[in-house]
Amino acid sequence: MNLWRRRFWILVAIVVGVPLVIAILLAMRFLPDRPVTYANIEDHFKYGSTGGERNAGFPYWIWKAMPVIFKDYLPRNGGQGYEAFGMVYETDGRGNRKDLPVGVMKRRNLGIDRVFVNCAACHATTVREAPDKPPRVIVGMPAARFDLGGFEQFLFDIAVDERFRAAVFVAEIERQAGSLGPLDRYVVYPLAVEIMRGQLLMLRHRFGPVRPDLWGPGRVDTWNAAKAGLNFDMGRLPAHELLGPSDFPSIWNQRQRKHRDDGKPMQLHWVGNNDEVNERNLSAAFGTGATPSTVDHAAIGRIQDWLLDAQPPAYPLPIDKTLAARGAAVYKQYCADCHGASGQDFSGRYVGHVTDVDLVGTDRDNFDTYTYDLAVSQDTNYAGTPYRFTHFRKTNGYANLPLDGIWLRGPYLHNGSVPTLRDLLEPSGCRGPAAVARPVTFYRGYDVIDPARVGFIGTVAQENGRTFYLYDTRQDGKHNCGHEGKIYGTELPPADKDAIVEYLKTF
Amino acid sequence: MTFWTPARRRKLKIAAAVLLVIAALGAWFAWYEFFREVPEGPWDADVANGHSAADVRFMYGSIGAERDAGIPYWIVYVLPRVFPDKLPGPNGLASFGLPWEEGKELPVGFTTKVIGFKRVAQNCAACHTETYRTGPKANRAFVPAGGDHTFDLEAFFRFLVDCAKDPRFNSSRLISEIELSRPPDFTWVDSLVYRFVLIPITRQRLLAREAKFAWIYRHDPPRDWPDWGRGRDDAMNLTKYFLTTSPLDDTLGPTDMPALWDLRKYQGNPGTRMNLAGDSWDANSVIIDSALGLLSAAPPSNEKFLDEVHWLNRYLDDRPPPAFPFPIDPAQAGAGRQVFDANCASCHASARTGTVVPVEEVGTDRERLHSWNKDAAVRANEAVKAFGIDRKGLVEADPTGYVATFLDGIWLRAPYLHNGSVPTLRDLLTPASQRPQVFYRGYDVYDPQDVGFVALEQQASRLGVSWADVTGHGSRFDVRLRSCGNQGHEFGVNLPAADKAALLEYLKTIVKPLPNW
């Protein structure tokens, strides 16, 4: 009897105990869901989680392996790895380059570290005061260097490359990380590669005829990305709706954008299609992979609160106070009604209102990509939660924006088609030949500011082996027409234009 | 020594108690997941869009269709995302041309109700709310009770059936799409209920509709079977095949979705009939029959159902059409009044208004008449009676002509004639041979000059409208196809140009029903 009893308990231990131990070990490996957190709010913005990694996150080691395996798909501009897409790496306290670039977040999820882009990818980058000065990362400014479209195109391309398979990734990961255990080697990474390829193929399919490779650095085709997210049948969209990239915006001073002179909130986005700051933020967070089921409201809320009063840095070079004072007077007469009394005071009759697209006359491609049908379809986002979208509207033009930190927001106009503010005060040449006109082509992605004309220097094609993006305003979605004529100040004497530009440095 | 020792009795009692608790929990679970009803409303006035609380109830309130015709919310949510290729356009659910107010979760006419789980069904407003814009950049105006000229109902019917027939309509595929959008409180229990119950059952129920919809899939020669197109439905065939289960015949009679405003006008003269061919006796009967079509089953409670019908009838009795939203030349309109009295009033402002005019006299397309008959009317009346509902009902006679329409809000009821075959009032005042042969319906920018919606390229270019936008949002209408003929009603077509211009101006002013006695 005792013998059988003992055997029985051994059997129980084998049948119940062993699986239990295995289950506990697996749970410890695969169940934790832990973002890397940062006490400092700027670090949280640059590297903190939005929750999007749970949905879209790349396994960390796949992220590390991709630019090595698919080196041949990287843009050939002299940048190494993800720097080829204009992503920027900070150095840590000891002068070592950080492991992940600004705008990439990390979370332990499903048994592996997963990474994905966060808000800072598109809303932070580097600036230099002069070619020989060190680059300074500024948070909240448009990521003028980041080629999001190029990055997306890279992912679309590698997903259909024959090397996108487990054996190739495992070999590269082992080269970088050392030998993998059997669980990782035979189960986790093969599965991760399969799942990731499936998701990339889905994204590639949903973008259909949209061409991210045509966007260029600092720009994104927001509304076509939104349509792809809703799985619109992009192939049947009319041609004029398929290419309308616009510049990444700056995102400081959100509190002041909640009010305009008539008491209503400002109309946000370039086309002014939403006037609710938090809803606009959740909409933008889709770009970080955050969906209603994966979004980390607490983490995004922290960023949201900080952005209410986040400020752009002051212009770092000397400002000619006399000239600026003269510029202030001209600005008040010509610009203030639409763009605010100053860089800190956003009052003005038309600030945060939309100007008819035919009146402002700027490239209408971005305006055309946003449709009524998209607006109502966006109202289904976040269904079943208190966050459901209710504020998207089809408007008739582009919004008049406040100009806080405008010196960091070049190139100018919604599509980034004018390299400097001084150029913006010249006619485009679209309405007939002009003696002095805005540049027909210029380079984007160079991070040295232009102290005379304000904006980034657009005449540098390369520096230290790194080439920059040639922006041709004759191409679709890149026209530099509009925002010109008497009321826009392009007929002012040159001295007045210089004065306005000097004044705008104080914003 | 009995078998039921006290110990055994005790064990039995415990077992019974445990079973009872399990059964009770199961019953509660089943009730909660599948039958629990959560009341909707109250309906608040929507000041921003100029709608009263009654308008909002009409546009979004349940008429009780969710129990039998309702589709689980998350299936409706993901279908346009899983099957974008089966939609009539590229823009998701909006591609059907449903009136859809900015900020609203679902289009007008789509109702949601929790009966165990959240279900989506339709009410009258899907086909009876109209939109218009005064220009390509103007805000869209929504007119509850107007005739919906943009909604492609046939495409919507086909979409649901076609999705169900597609191999992609399976639990794994739909749930993986739901996963991308589900709220945090959509738990694994909900997911299991969808996977094993709601998705398979919904698929079966949608497939079951296919046989009844056989005629909207027909393309067999020698007859042509054109699509209904936006803003039209084959109303009498729907009644025939869904309410009465009549055998399939060869008829096809799509007609414009009518405006339902000012229904009180039908009470003045005992000779007036409802429906385009005068097939029904009164508004109450029409509302009952149409609502039964939306329920696609006997009402769960006749009392509640008739209360709702009564409310709809009262609401529609006094809901006026909107005034013409552009300037009107009063002198010109005054002159037009004379032209109207001399040429139009005998049918459109007389005892004849609202009564049937023989088709030989009006001369318009006859296909709609063929789609209905005495036999069908008898059977439909019997079917409704079998539900225990008393109503005056359908006219038990073969239709012989079309009702001379009241002209209240006629400016907004384009395209014209019963089958919507003439895009503008200006075209209607032209001889049939000169009316447009091919045009687009379903675009809602208004053309005040021709009095109707933008339907032709020349109108689009005159008004600065993108023609690609018109063709992208409209459906092509060819008057040479069956049921689409634009002949007939050649009244006033030979008037002098000045008289026509004056008449058009006058027609813009008509908001209230003209007296018909």
Contact B90 A231 (CB under 8 A): no
Site of tokens 């070079």: A317
Nearest to B63 by CA among B241, B313, B274: B313
With a cut of 70, which residues of chain B have pLDDT below it?
1
Cα–Cα distance measured from residue A155 to residue A56, given in angstroms and rounded to the nearest whole number: 12
Contact in structure between B152 and B229 (CB atoms under 8 Å): yes
The pLDDT of residue B49? 86
Residues, chain A, total?
507
Task: Tell me if A377 and B92 make a contact (CB, 8 A cut-off).
Answer: yes
Residues of B in contact with A398 (CB under 8 A): none
Residues 6 or more apart whose CB falls under 8 angstroms from that of A182 comprise: none
d(CA B476, CA B227): 10
CA dihedral A3, A4, A8, A9 (to 10 degrees): -30
Reduced DSSP (H G I as helix, E B as strand, rest coil) percent helix, strand, coil of chain A, to 5: 40, 10, 45
Is residue A47 within 8 Å of A105, Cβ to Cβ? yes
3-state DSSP assignment of residue B505? helix
Q: Each residue of B461-515: pLDDT tens digit?
A: 999 999 999 999 999 999 999 999 999 999 999 999 999 999 999 999 999 999 8
Check CB contact under 8 Å for B102 and A392: yes
Contact B183 A391 (CB under 8 A): no
How many C-alpha atoms does B183 have within 13 Å on its Cβ side? 13
Residue B16 lies in a domain: yes
Torsion-angle region of residue A140: left (phi > 0), alpha (psi -120 to 50) or beta? left
Confidence of residue A1 (pLDDT cuts 50, 70, 90): low
Partner-chain contact B468 A238, CB within 8 Å: yes
CB-based burial of residue A1 (10 Å sphere; 0-12 exposed, 13-18 middle, 19+ buried)? exposed
Cα B482 to its chain centre, rounded Å, is: 22
Token pair, residue A426, equals 């010249």
**Cβ B82 vs Cβ B74: under 8 Å:** no
| Cβ(B412)–Cβ(B305) below 8 Å | no
Which of B102, B132, B137, B467 would you mutate first to test chain A, the one with the most A CBs within 10 A? B102
- Measured torsion, CA atoms of residues B269, B273, B275, B279, in degrees rounded to the nearest 10: 180
- What token pair was written down for A166? 């487990």
Q: What is the pLDDT of residue A67?
A: 97
Report how far apart the first and last C-alpha atoms of chain B are (Å, whole number): 97
- Can you tell me the distance from the alpha carbon of B359 to that of A165, in angstroms, rounded to the nearest whole number? 71
**What distance in Å separates the CA atoms of residue B401 and residue B422, rounded to the nearest whole number?**
18
pLDDT at A470 (0 to 100): 97
Task: Match 């102290």 to its residue by tokens.
Answer: A451
B-chain CB neighbours of A385 within 8 Å are 183-184
Which member of A371, A380, A394 has the closest CB to residue B91?
A371
Q: Give the amino acid at B269.
A: N
CB burial class (10 A; 0-12, 13-18, 19+) of residue A352? buried
Report the chain B residue with the minimal C-alpha distance to residue A227: B91
When mean pLDDT is compared across A1-5, A302-306, B120-124, B243-247, the lowest value belongs to A1-5
Contact A422, A498 (CB under 8 A): yes
Q: Give domain status of residue B96, yes or no.
A: no
Q: What is the ipTM of this complex?
A: 0.94
Contact flag B105-A356 (C-beta cutoff 8 Å): no
Domain range for B26 is 1-34
- The torsion angles phi and psi of B357, rounded to 5 degrees, stand at -100, 130
Residues of A in contact with B472 (CB under 8 A): 238
Closest by alpha carbon to A444, among A248, A264, A290?
Answer: A248
Q: Give the 3-state secondary structure of A68-80.
A: HHCHHHCCCCCCC
What is the per-residue pLDDT across A188-219, written as a single tens digit (0 to 9) for each? 999 999 999 999 999 999 999 999 999 999 99
Across the interface, do A376 and B82 touch by the CB < 8 Å criterion? no
pLDDT in tens, A321-331: 999 999 999 99
Residues of chain A with Cβ-Cβ distance to B93 below 8 Å are 377, 380
Q: In whole angstroms, what is the distance from residue A480 CA to residue B393 CA?
A: 66
Taking an 8 Å cut-off on Cβ atoms, the answer to whether B468 and A380 are in contact is no
Q: Is residue B13 part of a domain?
A: yes
CA distance linking residue A406 with residue A455, whole number of Å: 8
How many pairs of residues across A and B have Cβ atoms under 8 Å apart? 96
The helix/strand/coil state of A119 is: helix
B455 class by beta-carbon count within 10 Å (0-12 exposed, 13-18 middle, 19+ buried)? buried
SS (H, E, C) A135-169: CEEEECCCCCCCCHHHHHHHHHHHHCCCCCCHHHH
From chain A, pick out residues whose CB is under 8 angstroms from the CB of B106.
Answer: 380
3-class DSSP string for B261-300: CCHHHHHCCCCCCECCCCCECCHHHHHHHHHHHHHCCCCC
Q: Is residue B22 part of a domain?
A: yes
Best probe of the B interface among A55, A224, A232, by most B CBs < 10 A, is: A232
- How far apart CA B108 and CA B139 sit, in angstroms, is 16
Contact A391 B103 (CB under 8 A): yes
Beta-carbon contacts of A18 under 8 Å, excluding residues fewer than 6 positions away, are none
Pick A95 or A450 by higher pLDDT: A450
As a whole number, mean pLDDT of residues A262-278 equals 97
CA distance from start to end of chain A: 90
pLDDT of residue B41: 73
Chain A residues contacting B via beta carbons under 8 Å: 55, 227, 230-238, 240, 291-293, 356, 371-377, 379-385, 388, 390-394, 396
Q: Do B181 and A237 touch (CB under 8 A)?
A: no
> Among the residues of A286-419, which ranges form H helices?
297-309, 321-334, 336-339, 357-360, 365-369, 372-378
- Out of A240, A376, A381, whose CB is closest to B468? A240
Cβ–Cβ < 8 Å for B145, B319: yes
CA-nearest residue of chain A to B470?
A238
Query: A388 contacts in B (CB within 8 Å)?
Result: 105
Instruction: Please indicate whether, in this complex, the C-beta atoms of B77 and A380 are within 8 angstroms of each other.
Output: yes
Tell me the CA distances in angstroms from A19 to A22, A25, A26, A195, one per residue in order.
5, 10, 10, 27
> Could you give the percent of chain A with pLDDT greater than 90?
92
Q: What does the pLDDT read at residue B1?
A: 58
Domain count across chain B: 1
DSSP per residue, B35-86: T-EE---PPPPBGGGTB-HHHHHHHH---S-HHHH-EEHHHHHHHHHH-GGG
Report which of A450, A451, A431 is spatially closest to residue A491, judged by C-alpha positions: A431
Taking only the tens place, the pLDDT of each residue in A49-72 is: 999 988 889 999 999 999 999 999
Which residue in chain A has the smallest CA separation from B136?
Answer: A396
**Are B180 and A291 inside 8 Å of each other by CB?**
yes
Looking at CA atoms only, how far is residue A114 from chain B in angstroms? 18
Which of A293, A358, A359, A385 is the best substitution to test chain B (most B C-beta atoms within 10 A)? A293
Euclidean distance between CA atoms A141 and A408, whole angstroms: 6
3-class DSSP assignment, residue A107: strand
* Shortest CA gap A126–chain B (Å): 34
Beta strands in A315-468 (DSSP E): 354-356, 397-399, 441-444, 462-463, 466-467
Residue B89, SS3 per DSSP = coil
Q: Does residue B466 fall inside a structural domain?
A: no
Burial class (CB in 10 A: 0-12, 13-18, 19+), B454: buried
